[in-house]
Homo-oligomer: A and B are copies of this chain.
Amino acid sequence: MNSSELLAALKQQAEMINATMREDLTTIESPLLADIINHAIFQGGKRVRPLLTMMAATLIGPPPADTPRLAISFEYLHAASLLHDDVIDHADLRRGKETANKIWGISPVILAGDFLHARAMSLAGAVGGRAGMEIIGQATAAMVEAEFLQMQIAEEIIPDDANYFRVLMGKTAALISAACEAGVVHAGGNAEQRRALRVYGTNLGLAFQIVDDLLDYLGDPARTGKAVGNDFQEGKMTLPLINTLARADEKDRDLLLALLKGSAAERQKQVASAHGLINKYQGFAVARQKAQDLMDEALSGLKIFSDGPAKDTLIGLAHYVLNRDK
């Protein structure tokens, strides 16, 4: 499967996922609630999580007819967490568009997040049964625990990379892994197949976030829609920086730490020199290698499955995540 075939296949599935969500959301009564949820869900989005559920199920055999309704529960949970995250971060913009809390204020947005959250869990339970519930329940708990761990380590001067990975695991990888695993279970996969997709999803999620962190420094703003070095300006500690702090000599480390403790305005002026220091200590290269290693491990787990379009798509998705420029 070449990359344009992959994109066409994904686009078709994404449209089916969108149609399933539109149908499911017709029960909403309040016009304001419907507006917020439409804003949260139908402003684009690649539907990565539901697509993974569909593909993982298809690996095992023809997916049961209700698989799309299980799949959308992961998109809902993702959207719910973005709604609450933007309230918590007082964010006005997400991917260049006004956030729901900027438009409607925090109260209805907290509630709309609760609604999507509940709807996600209901669907996972109704379609996926006890196993579906257990998978999504564990992912949700992991997401909340990761937010608390992140608050806790924000107070450390130099986070170690074990804690960094624990946060990524909960904030990004747990839900992606759950989306994959739920698809396998729903299609009747066995324990080995379940484990393979859990590993695939976890590693894909971790690699996805590392590539995101790299693009923040190295991406083309015209493609990513974000200013170069945005994370550094915000004092956000991501893997390239953590790698560098761990390897730099005392002078360079003190320089970086002083910048990180200083003002955002000062950091904004020093993005280029931070970039230079990260390069000097190969912080970008080490992070990219880590993403590559994770992806190799993700893909090695897929060897137990016979070849076919679903497996091709999962492999294609992994390559896409690693090589994307936005």
For window 82-123 of A, CB contacts with B under 8 Å fall at: 84, 87-88, 106-108, 110-115, 117-119, 121-122
Residue A190 lies at the interface, judged by CB distance under 8 Å to chain B: no
CB distance from A177 to the nearest CB of B (A): 16
Q: Does A2 contact B (CB under 8 A)?
A: no
Q: When chains A and B are docked, how far (Å) is the Cα of A86 from the Cα of B102?
A: 20
Min Cβ gap A301→B in Å is 27
For A126, what are the chain B residues with a Cβ–Cβ distance below 8 Å? 130, 133-134, 137
A108 CA to B88 CA in the complex, in Å? 8
Q: Are A87 and B110 touching (Cβ within 8 A)?
A: yes
- Is B115's CB under 8 angstroms from A125's CB? no
Residues in A123-137 with C-beta less than 8 Å from chain B: 124-126, 129-130, 133-134, 136-137
Q: Is A32 an interface residue (CB 8 A)?
A: yes
Q: In terms of DSSP, what is the predominant structure of the interface of chain A?
A: helix
Nearest-neighbour CB distance to chain B for A162, whole angstroms, equals 15
Cβ-defined contact, B110 with A84, below 8 A: yes
A148 touches B87 (CB 8 A): no
A15 lies within 8 A of chain B by Cβ: no
Interface 9-residue window, one of A138-146, A211-219, A223-231, A234-242 = A138-146
Q: Is A152 an interface residue (CB 8 A)?
A: yes
* Interface assignment of A317: CB less than 8 Å from any CB of chain B: no
B119 touches A141 (CB 8 A): yes
- For the complex, give the distance between the alpha carbons of A133 and B113 in Å: 18
A160 within 8 A of B: no
* Interface pair A107/B88, CB less than 8 Å apart: yes
CB contact under 8 A between A137 and B125, given known A32-B152, A144-B33: yes
* 3 closest residue pairs by CB, A with B: A122-B137, A125-B133, A30-B148
16 further A-B contacts with Cβ under 8 Å, apart from A32-B152, A121-B122, are: A29-B149, A33-B145, A33-B148, A84-B114, A87-B110, A111-B144, A114-B140, A114-B144, A118-B137, A118-B141, A119-B141, A121-B133, A122-B140, A125-B133, A126-B134, A133-B133
